[in-house]
Amino acid sequence: MSSDLEARALARPWFYPFRLRSGATTPSYDGGWLDGIHHTRSAMLATALRARFGDTFGQLDAVDLACHQGWFSVQLAQLGFRDVLAVDARAEHIADATLIRDALGLAQVRLLQSDVHAIDSEALGKFDVCLCLGLIYHLENPVGALRVARALTRHVCVVETQVVPNLGGMVDYGSYKFVRPLKGSFGIIDETDDTHGPEASTTGICLVPSTEALCWIMRKIGFARVEVLPVPADGYEQLVHGKRVMVAGYVD
Ligand SMILES: C[S@@+](CC[C@H](N)C(=O)[O-])C[C@H]1O[C@@H](n2cnc3c(N)ncnc32)[C@H](O)[C@@H]1O
């Protein structure tokens, strides 16, 4: 029964403020302190998808890498996507996303527990839209994860990440005779004491790209066009100030 599922959902705090069928909203962490980042990203994603696909969402499928409790997956389903595969490494998130999916009656959302690096992209095939939100800055192999995302993308991949300041300039690459330009940079963040955390890395060593690095890598691994998405002026401060970015990679 949907009302029993709602009662279970409403009895505890969530990472996201899910609006349920009754109109009630799940209580979110710290009295909703983080809700702004979720709402800003939802608005940016919907704007980018409407610009690319118009009102054809009913013909589209999507994969949501690192879906957590399914915030973006259920929103794609609510926009009308015909099939959404939500993937996360953590079993507890898959269980939570299943509860929310069922409470909202969104049968087109499927769940899969998998590390992003363990995904067999040949077996899963391609999806019109691939989401890779809030993930790559928790990884020690962000380029590998982006390659998985590219392999899963038929039309558009949206990547959202924390970024670090860029380091540019020229490098004597073995000798002054072999000078190479830096294409971007990564910062190392230590999450080794936080791997138990529900939003954290599973391995603890995290490579965070600069915006320049992310865009260069996305072009290099096969996105024909890469665009840093515009942020609403009243959006979440990290996105407004370029400390996080949402980037769309277009295959066609
Ligand atoms: C900061 S949360 C972001 C969740 C959601 N995509 C969002 O943007 O709100 C990071 C998520 O990445 C997942 N995660 C961490 N390492 C992963 C990995 N190697 N493979 C798949 N998921 C991973 C975590 O379990 C968590 O759900």
Q: Mean pLDDT in the chain?
A: 97
Q: Please tell me the residue having the least CA distance from ligand 1 atom 2.
A: 199
Q: Is the pLDDT score of 1 beyond 80?
A: no
Q: Judge if the beta carbon of residue 129 lies within 6 A of ligand 1.
A: no
* DSSP per-residue codes, 138-200: G-S-HHHHHHHHHHHEEEEEEEEEE------SEEE-SSTTSEEE----EEEEE-TT-TTSTTS
Task: Kindly state the average pLDDT of the residues 51-59.
Answer: 97
Structural domains in the chain, sorted by start: 2-250 (3.40.50.150)
| C-alpha distance across the termini of the chain, in Å | 43
- Amino acid 56: pLDDT: 97
Ligand 1 atom closest to the CA of 71, numbered from 1: 9
Q: How far is the CA of 132 from the centre of ligand 1 (A)?
A: 9
Q: Judge if the beta carbon of residue 71 lies within 6 A of ligand 1.
A: yes
Q: Is the pLDDT score of 229 beyond 90?
A: yes
Q: Judge if the beta carbon of residue 145 lies within 6 A of ligand 1.
A: no
Residue-wise pLDDT for 56-69, tens only, equals: 999 999 999 999 99
Whose CA is closest to 162, among 241, 65, 44? 241
Mean pLDDT is lowest, of 117-126, 196-205, 211-220, for 196-205
- Amino acid 67: pLDDT: 98
Side chain identity, residue 15: F
- Amino acid 2: pLDDT: 76
The overall pTM is greater than 0.95: yes
Residue-wise pLDDT for 153-187, tens only, equals: 999 999 999 999 999 999 999 999 999 999 999 99
Task: Kindly state the average pLDDT of the residues 102-127.
Answer: 98
Q: Is the pLDDT score of 3 beyond 90?
A: no
Give the rounded percent of residues in the chain with a pLDDT score beyond 70: 100
Residue 179 burial class via C-beta count within 10 angstroms: exposed 0-12, middle 13-18, buried 19 and up: exposed
Q: Is the pLDDT score of 113 beyond 80?
A: yes
